[in-house]
Chains A and B, each alone.
Chain A
Amino acid sequence: MEQSKKNNEKNPPKKKQKTNLIKNKPPHLEDMYACLQCGYCNSVCPVYKETKWESLTPRGKVFLLKHLTTKDSLIDKILGKKITDYLTGRGKISLEEAMEKIFTCTLCGRCETICHVDIDFHKYWLEIRKWMVENGIKPPQNTIDMYNSIAEKEYKNPFVMPATKRDEWYRDEYKFPEKADIVYFIGCVTSYNEYQLLLNTLKVFTSAGIDFTTLGTDEMCCGAVNTMTGQWDNFKKIAEYNVNQIKKRGATQVVTGCPACYRALNNYRKFVKFDFKLIHTTELVAQLIREKRLKFTKKLKEKNLPVIYHDPCELGRVLVYEGKNLFEEPRYILKTILGSENVLEFSNNRMDSICCGGGGGLRATNYDLTADISIRKIDEAIELGAKTIVSACPNCKAQLSDAVEIKKEKMAESEEKFKMKVMDILEVVAKCL
Chain B
Amino acid sequence: MDDLPIKVKSSSNKSKNQDQKSEIYKKLSEIVGEARISESSLDRLLYSHDVAPLPKELSLVFKTVPDIVVKPRNAIDISKIMKYAVENSIPIIPRGGASWTFGGAVPAYGGIILDMGNMQEILEINKENLFVTVEPGVNWKKLYDALLKKGFLIGSYPSSAPGATVGGWVNTGGVGIGSYKYGGIDKLIRSLEVVLPDGKIINTGCKNVLSNSSGYNLTDFFIGSEGTLGIITKVTLKIFPLPEEIRPTSFVFPDLEKVGQAIHALTRTNITPYHIAFLDGAHFDLLRELDKDVPTVGAMVNIIFSGDSKIIDIQERTTDKIMSDYGGKKQSKDFADHEWAERLFESKARRLGPGLIVGESFCPVSQIVEMMNRSKIVLDKLKMKGAVVGFIADPNTVLFMTYAISNEHKFVRNMASLALVKKLSDEAFKVGGRPGGFGLLFSGNLKKIHGKGVYLMDDIKSAIDPYYIMNPGKLIENTTRFGIPIPGFAMSTIMNILAIVKQIIPADKIEAKNNGTKQKK
Tell me, yes or no, whether B513 is within 8 Å of chain A by CB. yes
Smallest CB gap from B354: residue in A: A33
Tell me, yes or no, whether A114 is within 8 Å of chain B by CB. yes
- State the CA gap A118–B520 with chains docked (Å): 12
CB atoms of A55 and B59 under 8 A apart: no
- State the CA gap A13–B56 with chains docked (Å): 36
Tell me, yes or no, whether A123 is within 8 Å of chain B by CB. yes
Q: 1/0 per position for A31-63, CB-CB distance to B under 8 A?
A: 101101111101110000000111100001001
Interface-facing stretch out of B38-46, B174-182, B258-266, B486-494: B38-46
CB atoms of A52 and B117 under 8 A apart: yes
Tell me, yes or no, whether A87 is within 8 Å of chain B by CB. yes
Smallest CB gap from A78: residue in B: B57
**Nearest chain A CB to B74 CB, angstrom units:** 14
Q: 1/0 per position for B374-413, CB-CB distance to A under 8 A?
A: 0000000000000000000000000000000000110100
Whether A28 contacts B516 in the complex (CB less than 8 A), given A54-B43, A55-B43, comes out as yes
Tell me, yes or no, whether B115 is within 8 Å of chain A by CB. yes
Tell me, yes or no, whether A22 is within 8 Å of chain B by CB. no
CB atoms of B411 and A74 under 8 A apart: yes
Most A CB within 10 A of own CB, among B42, B60, B97, B348: B42
- State the CA gap A87–B58 with chains docked (Å): 11
Tell me, yes or no, whether B423 is within 8 Å of chain A by CB. no
Q: In the complex, which residues of chain B have a beta carbon less than 8 angstroms from the beta carbon of A36? A: 51, 347, 350, 356
- State the CA gap A64–B41 with chains docked (Å): 11
Within 8 A of A (CB), among B425-478: none
Q: In the complex, which residues of chain A have a beta carbon less than 8 angstroms from the beta carbon of B67? A: 89
**Nearest chain A CB to B136 CB, angstrom units:** 13
Tell me, yes or no, whether A117 is within 8 Å of chain B by CB. yes
8 contacts between A and B (CB under 8 A): A36-B51, A38-B99, A42-B163, A52-B118, A55-B42, A73-B57, A89-B65, A90-B44
**8 Å CB contact of B162 from A43, A74, A89, A118:** A43
CB atoms of B350 and A34 under 8 A apart: yes
- Tally A residues with Cβ within 8 Å of B: 50
Tell me, yes or no, whether A247 is within 8 Å of chain B by CB. no
**Nearest chain A CB to B357 CB, angstrom units:** 12
**Nearest chain B CB to A321 CB, angstrom units:** 10
Tell me, yes or no, whether A419 is within 8 Å of chain B by CB. no
CB atoms of B408 and A64 under 8 A apart: no
Q: Total number of A-B contacts with CB less than 8 angstroms?
A: 153
CB atoms of A38 and B163 under 8 A apart: yes
CB atoms of B64 and A88 under 8 A apart: yes
Q: Is the interface of B mostly helix, strand, loop or mixed?
A: loop
CB atoms of B142 and A119 under 8 A apart: no
**Nearest chain A CB to B349 CB, angstrom units:** 9
- Taking A38-B160, A93-B41 as known contacts, 7 extra A-B pairs with beta carbons closer than 8 A to each other, sorted by chain A number, are A37-B98, A40-B344, A54-B47, A54-B69, A55-B43, A64-B42, A119-B518
CB atoms of A30 and B60 under 8 A apart: no
Whether A60 contacts B516 in the complex (CB less than 8 A), given A30-B351, A36-B356, comes out as no
Tell me, yes or no, whether A94 is within 8 Å of chain B by CB. yes
Whether A63 contacts B44 in the complex (CB less than 8 A), given A33-B354, A119-B516, comes out as no
Give the interface of B toward A (CB within 8 A): 13, 16, 38, 40-51, 55-57, 59-60, 63-65, 67, 69, 71, 97-99, 110, 115, 117-118, 120, 139, 141-142, 149, 160, 162-163, 290, 344-345, 347-348, 350-351, 353-354, 356, 408-409, 411, 513-518
Tell me, yes or no, whether A283 is within 8 Å of chain B by CB. no
Q: In the complex, which residues of chain A have a beta carbon less than 8 angstroms from the beta carbon of B64? A: 88
Q: In the complex, which residues of chain A have a beta carbon less than 8 angstroms from the beta carbon of B40? A: 94, 97
CB atoms of B56 and A88 under 8 A apart: yes
CB atoms of B13 and A89 under 8 A apart: yes
CB atoms of A34 and B354 under 8 A apart: yes
**8 Å CB contact of B49 from A37, A75, A91, A94:** A37
- State the CA gap A28–B351 with chains docked (Å): 12
Tell me, yes or no, whether A236 is within 8 Å of chain B by CB. no
Q: In the complex, which residues of chain A have a beta carbon less than 8 angstroms from the beta carbon of B59? A: 87-90
Smallest CB gap from B56: residue in A: A73
**Nearest chain B CB to A433 CB, angstrom units:** 38
CB atoms of B517 and A54 under 8 A apart: no
9 nearest A-B residue pairs (beta carbon): A91-B41, A120-B517, A39-B163, A34-B351, A33-B354, A88-B59, A40-B162, A89-B65, A30-B516
- State the CA gap A277–B25 with chains docked (Å): 58
Q: In the complex, which residues of chain B have a beta carbon less than 8 angstroms from the beta carbon of A42? A: 97, 117, 139, 163
Most B CB within 10 A of own CB, among A52, A93, A114: A52
- State the CA gap A55–B43 with chains docked (Å): 6
**8 Å CB contact of B51 from A31, A37, A60, A121:** A37
- State the CA gap A37–B345 with chains docked (Å): 13
**Nearest chain A CB to B311 CB, angstrom units:** 31
CB atoms of B42 and A97 under 8 A apart: yes
Q: In the complex, which residues of chain B have a beta carbon less than 8 angstroms from the beta carbon of A124? A: 517
Q: In the complex, which residues of chain A have a beta carbon less than 8 angstroms from the beta carbon of B142? A: 43
Tell me, yes or no, whether A418 is within 8 Å of chain B by CB. no
- State the CA gap A40–B98 with chains docked (Å): 11
Smallest CB gap from A85: residue in B: B41
- State the CA gap A121–B67 with chains docked (Å): 31
Tell me, yes or no, whether A101 is within 8 Å of chain B by CB. yes
**8 Å CB contact of B42 from A28, A40, A87, A101:** A101
CB atoms of A89 and B110 under 8 A apart: yes
CB atoms of A117 and B350 under 8 A apart: yes
Whether A116 contacts B42 in the complex (CB less than 8 A), given A36-B356, A43-B142, A54-B115, comes out as no
Whether A86 contacts B51 in the complex (CB less than 8 A), given A39-B163, A64-B45, comes out as no
**8 Å CB contact of A38 from B13, B51, B115:** B51
- State the CA gap A87–B56 with chains docked (Å): 11
Smallest CB gap from A121: residue in B: B517
Smallest CB gap from A101: residue in B: B42
Q: In the complex, which residues of chain B have a beta carbon less than 8 angstroms from the beta carbon of A84? A: 56, 60
Whether A39 contacts B98 in the complex (CB less than 8 A), given A34-B351, A114-B162, A118-B348, comes out as yes
CB atoms of B517 and A123 under 8 A apart: yes
CB atoms of B65 and A30 under 8 A apart: no
- State the CA gap A36–B100 with chains docked (Å): 11
CB atoms of A87 and B163 under 8 A apart: no
CB atoms of B60 and A31 under 8 A apart: no
- State the CA gap A90–B39 with chains docked (Å): 11
Whether A75 contacts B513 in the complex (CB less than 8 A), given A39-B97, A54-B43, comes out as no
Smallest CB gap from A119: residue in B: B517
Q: In the complex, which residues of chain B have a beta carbon less than 8 angstroms from the beta carbon of A119? A: 516-518
CB atoms of A28 and B515 under 8 A apart: yes
- State the CA gap A389–B337 with chains docked (Å): 34
